[in-house]
Amino acid sequence: MADNSIVSYNPASGELKTLLSGKLAIPTGIKLDGDTLYVADVFAFRAVDTKSGDVKDIYRAHASKLEYPGAVGIGGKLIALASYVTNSVQLLDRATQKDVEVLHGLKAPTDAIPLDDGSVLVLELGTGSLLKASGDKYAEHTVVAKDLS
């Protein structure tokens, strides 16, 4: 799914032949960071070099802990990947792009952005609210704004 391709398979020989492919699958969220465009691509989290056009996979669904990102937010130390599919926000270390934490149990988060104080703002479609997640494992949720549509 992350390859966004149509592949021909010959059962007699086992040969695979790519008939059609693209560099992105389902891009739903982007953030620019210098010359790097980060792409939440549902089945992958990717980085595009805006000068060369090269596309690099950072994480792929089913080959990592990636949780179907629909949006990407960039903070000073963290990257947030919001997934309304899995009701989660996945936090990555901005420098290393390694997993930091996954916030589960949210209600259709459509976007998230890490703040410099270590907390994360999460936009929940399911509640029409903007939440601030903080504390140990981001378990403290404070409603910043509600009745959003």
Does residue 17 sit within a domain?
no
Inside any domain, residue 19: no
The answer to the question of residue 10 being in a domain is no
Domain extent for 94:
26-145
Q: Indicate the pLDDT class of residue 3, thresholds 50, 70 and 90.
A: confident
Q: How high is the pLDDT of residue 149?
A: 79
CATH number, position 59: 2.120.10.30
pLDDT, tens digit, for every residue of 99-121? 999 999 999 999 999 999 999 99
> Is position 36 within any domain?
yes
Residue 7 lies in a domain: no
The token duo for 70 is 């629909």
pLDDT of residue 65: 87
Prediction pTM value: 0.89
Residue pair 4/20 in contact by the 8 Å Cβ criterion: no
Is the C-alpha dihedral spanning 31, 46, 94, 29 positive or negative?
A: positive
Per the domain annotation, does 5 fall within a domain? no
Dist. CA 9–CA 62, nearest whole Å? 21
Q: How far apart are CA 130 and CA 28, in angstroms?
A: 20
Give me the number of domains the chain comprises.
Answer: 1
Which CA distances in Å does 102 have to 49, 50, 99? 27, 29, 8
> Over 90: is that where the pLDDT of 5 sits?
no
The string of pLDDT tens digits covering residues 31-69 is: 999 999 999 999 999 999 999 999 999 999 888 888 899
Query: Do the domain assignments include residue 117?
Result: yes
